[in-house]
Copies of this chain bind each other. A is one copy, B any other.
Amino acid sequence: MAGSSYGTIFKLTTFGESHGKAIGGVLDGVPSGIHLDLEKIQQDLNKRKPGQSEYTTSRAEDDKLIILSGLFQGKTLGTPIGFYIENTDQRSEDYADIAMAFRPSHADFTYTHKYGIRDPRGGGRSSARETACRVVAGSVAKQIVQSIGIQFSTYVCKVGGIEMVKNSFYTSPEIESSPIRCPELEISKKMEDLILSVKGEGDTVGGVIQCIIQGVPVGLGEPVFDKLHAELGKAMLSINATKGFEIGSGFASCEWRGSQHNDAFDSLTSTKTNNSGGIQGGISNGMPIHFKVAFKPVSTLLKEQETVNELGEKVIIKPGGRHDPCVVPRAVPIVESMAAIVILDFYLRNKSVTL
């Protein structure tokens, strides 16, 4: 009810404020007997962590994963995996006397009103730091579904007005060869230039992430309300700074005719086109699942901004720290993680469809 859990069978519950002792979570419903490569999880965490390049924030934080339970001799026990990641950047100043300013387009204002109290240290619970826990869970999910042949390709397809040409299934090395995680390297170069230019102005810019999932068996997704793309949509829109979600042909589809848009079957295993994005009637049809997620420009600027404080007084703020001029490169592992969680959860849900 309070929204800190995600999934039904494979279920992640997270906790933690950005500048408290630690963030962490519990991963329940993990199938038993599966060997987990902990090093891979740490690598996925490293893809999300700050300080990877000049295109993201240079704040260096060591997101070291500590697992407390659920494994024995490297294998899952079927019991919950409890874990945490220390906040190396804890703060304990006295905030008692400050009428805090509400940063524009942040959650400061809404948290204060909802709870009557908020953690004034950084974004607190609303900080995107929480997504590190999703990467832990997603990395576990990815290892599990890869064992049944499911593969992910997730990359940045747009930054500002600069857009990729060909959205195909790129490999991880192809994606990682770009600091932006945009596998068309010429396009990536343009994005890098744009981001540095925006950064130079103390400003930020948004982008779009593409995710393609291959090898998903037919039958994942539950009618009526828990359609596979509806749950993917929720999963993606729960990531900080997201503004939109498209499955398959997306918003563009509304300009098409049905006769152009329909995916004709050419056999019992494939369709000629894939405007459906691998999902029909909310259920996977065996074709690649592909969707896009829109991210707004980051709200934290290195520019002065006018706002009001808790007393309604007009104040000027200018954050002093490091920040992300563009969040999408670091959001790639988060999108992929949430996708993996959804796919594994629906895979497990689908097991009870027949006796």
Contact = CB atoms under 8 A, between A and B. Distances in A.
Interface stretch (A36-44, A51-59, A177-185, A252-260): A252-260
A312 B266 CA distance: 9
A155 B21 CA distance: 36
Given A20-B68, A109-B265, A125-B224, 19 more contacts: A1-B11, A1-B222, A21-B67, A107-B280, A114-B350, A115-B353, A116-B354, A198-B257, A204-B258, A233-B234, A251-B292, A253-B294, A253-B296, A254-B297, A256-B296, A259-B301, A261-B296, A262-B301, A266-B308
Contacts of A294: 246, 250-251, 253-254
Contact of A84 (B68, B249, B348, B349): B68
A171 interface: no
A333 interface: no
Nearest to A266: B308
Given A17-B77, A268-B312, A227 B219 contact: no
Contacts of A76: 117
A281 interface: yes
A208 B114 CA distance: 32
Nearest to A109: B285
A13 interface: yes
A263 B78 contact: no
A85 to B, nearest CB: 10
Interface band, chain A: 35 or more
Contact of A113 (B110, B219, B225): B219
A7 B2 CA distance: 11
A106 interface: yes
A243 B234 contact: no
A280 B218 CA distance: 37
A230 interface: yes
Interface string A208-220: 1000000000110
A165 interface: no
B125 A79 contact: yes
Contacts of A203: 257-259
B28 A13 contact: yes
A75 B81 CA distance: 28
A131 to B, nearest CB: 9
Contacts of A110: 218-219, 221, 280-285
Interface string A84-105: 1000000000001000001011
Nearest to A303: B259
